Amino acid sequence: MKQSEKSLRLKTIFLIGGLSMLQPFITDPYLPSLPAVAKDLTVDLSVIQLSLSILTLGFALGQLFAGPLSDSVGRKKPMYAAIFIYVTSAIICAWSPSVEVFFAGRILQGLSASALTVIGVSVMRDLYSGLPLLKLMGRVMLVGASAWFIAPFAGSALLQFTDWRGISLIVGGYGLLVGIAAIKFMPETLHLDNRNTQVFAGMGKRFIKVLKDRTFFGLMLIQMAIGFSMFAYLGVLPIVFSQGFDVPATSVGLFIAVNSVGAYTGIQVAGFLAKRIGVQWVATGALVLWLLAGVGIIFNSLTGPNLWFVAAMSFLFVFAFGNTATTINAIALSHHGSEAGTAAAVLGTMGFLASTVGGPLYTMLDKNSAIGVGSAIAVAMTLALTVMLVVVRPHRMKSMS
């Protein structure tokens, strides 16, 4: 590898990794604070719980527009706008006088963070494809996925010194620092001759093109099941730990942080196995593990709830999530280099829309035991595994190179 290419690769890894940390930093640090937010804004906890659905709606909208827009005007201009919105929305959340203003800030946080995520994925696809792309994604995740266990741990630790409003300002400050670095050092990777000249008029055509791809369509459905499962875990399990197992609020984040090590490990294991058994089989195996974890939680809840068993099963399915985090994207984008932003946007948007639609269901799940979370995961992964085998058909896919 030439020195200039190695320098570009390292720069890409750290900059996109830093940007990808912005999304978990607006999710996990708030989880231990949800009861305090509800008390401070004088609303029921179930209302604040819906803020996760508001957040995922922002995630969906941000990807929906940022991906296709970046295919037309380049990657950097939408990135500038998203960084500005991210910092501004953190300030709005910190100064929220009411739940309505808090929700407005949260949807803007979700919109901007997801826009930056999809732009980062598009930059990687501009530079690489196939197994090199999967390898780059794995390296970026080494940086970005560290937020999956730093963020919940920080959320609990910071409560010793500040409240949820202070946490919002700290999140915004981090976004500002990363944004300045990205603006200064991130190269424009989509050159003029590769851009779609029609910004909005051509958007529909690009959406239709990716959705007509049978493999991509199946992976999109699987991503919806993954999004539904993960936000059932994020939105309900912390409350189950607190109410069902009497875990102190300051310790809930520690459970989430430990589980996130599983996702971090799963990403690296996926990259290792993909070279040996194929990316498609790594993704398929992950769905099987995820389903087994959901069934295990149901069985334990029915036969005698045990905190450590639930924690172990949640670690297993978060490990499986790590397996899918890069493999699903690598397979889905492999045939859509000219509309990488659009393809990444569709994949992410539908996953987050599934989470948003599931929001009201999350509020109805049992908070005193993990049976509701386990059932949601088991049903979603049964559907995902069926789609993988019947629609995506990994046995007919060629190995990536």
CB atoms within 10 A of CB 292: 16
Residue the block writes with tokens 């699903």? 328
Report how far residue 172's alpha carbon sits from residue 189's, in angstroms, rounded to the nearest whole number: 26
How much is the pLDDT for 130?
Answer: 76
Quick check: 201 and 37 in contact, CB under 8 A?
Answer: no
The pTM of this model reads: 0.71
The two three-digit tokens of residue 165, written as one number: 């409003």
Phi, psi (rounded to 5 degrees) for 256 = -65, -40
Q: What is the largest CA-CA distance in the chain?
A: 62
Phi, psi (rounded to 5 degrees) for 370 = -95, 10
Report how far residue 96's alpha carbon sits from residue 90's, in angstroms, rounded to the nearest whole number: 10
The two three-digit tokens of residue 342, written as one number: 């659009």
Along the 401 residues of the chain, how does pLDDT read in single tens digits? 555 667 767 787 888 888 888 988 888 778 778 888 999 999 988 888 788 778 888 888 888 788 778 887 788 889 999 999 999 999 999 999 999 999 999 999 999 998 998 888 888 888 887 778 878 887 887 787 677 667 777 777 888 888 989 999 999 999 999 999 988 888 888 877 666 666 555 666 767 778 888 999 999 999 999 988 987 887 788 888 888 888 886 677 777 777 777 887 888 898 889 888 989 999 999 999 999 999 999 999 998 889 899 989 999 988 999 899 889 988 888 776 666 667 877 887 888 788 777 877 877 888 788 898 899 999 999 999 999 999 999 988 876 65
Length of the chain: 401
CA distances from 37 to 31, 99, 165, 283, 330 (A): 10, 9, 9, 37, 38
242 closest CA partner among 251, 233, 234: 251
2, burial (CB in 10 Å: exposed 0-12, middle 13-18, buried 19+): exposed
How much is the pLDDT for 198?
Answer: 60
Q: Domains in the chain and their CATH numbers?
A: 3-396 (1.20.1250.20)
